[in-house]
Amino acid sequence: MKKKIALIFGITGQDGAYLSKLLLKKKYIVHGVIRRSSSFNTSRIDNIYQDPLMKKRTLILHYGDMIDSLSVSSIINKILPDEIYNLAAQSHVAVSFEVPEYTGNVDGLGTLRILDVIKSLRNKKKIKFYQAGTSEMYGGTQKKAQNEKTNFEPQSPYAAAKLYAHWITKIYRDAYGVFASNGILFNHESPLRGETFVTKKIIKALTKIKLKKQKKLYLGNIYSKRDWGHAEDYVEAMWKILNNKFPDDFVIATNNKMTIKHFVNLVAKELNISIKWKGRGINEKAFDQKGNCIIEINKRYFRPLEVDNLRGNFNKAKKVLKWRPKKNIKTLIKEMIDYELEKYGY
């Protein structure tokens, strides 16, 4: 049987790494788009790029950028893939307030650039398209749990850009018959998570505090609630979404939520650090058993607008795609801690 060809925009990110591994396991030929950078940016995929057993390159990488229509178009035209996964984004919510125009260009218009090439090729090759949508689009919602029918209320330039991408994906599906689907993914983490996202930041810092390599961790709002899953489970959902009979939109989540503070407590417990919280608001602090202050709140990490409450109802994905998360929050935390400990030879 002819091998399927996949093209991943954003292959060097957390999800790109897990997705390429999954697709290779499923015998796809996997192409990915990387950006030119002054230092190496392929650390997450280096181990799969060169398969030591097969002694040949398993991933085929191309230079491109979401804001460069010419590169987007020429890569798709050259490869003519069966499936395109658009994971490329300026994905940090807080940073999107600092670089709103760039975020709109990459995360919003970038999606349009891909879709329009797919549309122009539709008589030559039917290409399926996956858009990496986000629970951030629900933003200020009052709904306790969010599903595909919940109204969007974006609270950041990132969420607004992703909302444009969500709608333009749906518009190209309805107007031009493109097989284009939106995943609305809630937060998902892993050992490969970017260092400035809160789970990784907490786990990295508390592990170092445990090993006496760091004294303190500074956090922002510890009372927002998130629904955290594992990236490995979520990339499987992406593949299932594109291999569904029809293009559609799906919420991917765990249906559990907790505060950042609760997450800190779980990590501390797993690391055997006993912590006590004292104070309120900006003066809230956490102390270890010896009375050392190990966590402080710093205004610097607060956002101009916050998303307080995210919890996803993934019933549709369960029913239609037969998808459900396999790993729970404790497994996720343990895996992330073990990865950090390994760096120090434990």
Decide whether 114 or 217 has the Cβ nearer to ligand NAP: 114
Report in angstroms how near the CB of residue 184 gets to ligand GDD at its nearest: 9
Question: Rounded to an integer, what distance in angstroms lies between the CA atom of residue 86 and that of residue 198?
Answer: 23
- Rule CB under 6 A: say whether 107 interacts with ligand GDD: no
Rounded to a whole number of angstroms, the CA Rg of the chain reads 20
- Rule CB under 6 A: say whether 205 interacts with ligand GDD: no
Decide whether 8 or 75 has the Cβ nearer to ligand GDD: 8
> Which phi and psi (to 5°) does residue 211 adopt?
-90, 10
- Residues annotated as catalytic (active site), given as ranges: 134, 136, 158
Residues from 223 through 242 that contact ligand GDD (CB under 6 A): 224, 226
- Rule CB under 6 A: say whether 186 interacts with ligand GDD: yes
From the list ligand GDD, ligand NAP, none, which binds 201 (C-beta under 5 to 8 Å, kind-based)? ligand GDD
CB 129 within 8 Å of CB 113: no
Count of CB atoms situated within 10 Å of the CB of 274 = 11
Report in angstroms how near the CB of residue 312 gets to ligand NAP at its nearest: 10
Q: Which of 42, 58, 221, 259 binds ligand GDD (CB under 6 A)?
A: 221
Helix axes 260-270, 329-343, angle to 10 degrees: 60
Question: Rounded to an integer, what distance in angstroms lies between the CA atom of residue 182 and that of residue 184?
Answer: 6
Spell out a b/e string for 101-122, using b for 16 or more CB atoms within 10 Å of the CB, else e.
eebbbbbbbbbbbbbbbbbebe
Q: What are the residues whose beta carbons fall under 8 Å from the beta carbon of 319, sequence distance 6 or more?
A: none
Instruction: Take residue 232 and report the two structure tokens written for it.
Output: 């490995």
**From 15-23, 170-178, 218-226, 330-338, span contacting ligand GDD (CB under 6 A):** 218-226
Question: Rounded to an integer, what distance in angstroms lies between the CA atom of residue 273 and that of residue 266?
Answer: 10
Decide whether 34 or 260 has the Cβ nearer to ligand GDD: 260
- Rule CB under 6 A: say whether 179 interacts with ligand GDD: no
Q: Applying CB under 6 A, which residues contact ligand NAP?
A: 10-16, 35, 37, 41, 65-67, 87-91, 106, 132, 134, 185, 187-188, 194
Footprint on this chain of ligand GDD (rule: CB under 6 A): 91, 93-94, 134-136, 186-187, 196-198, 201, 219-222, 224, 226, 260, 301, 303, 306, 310
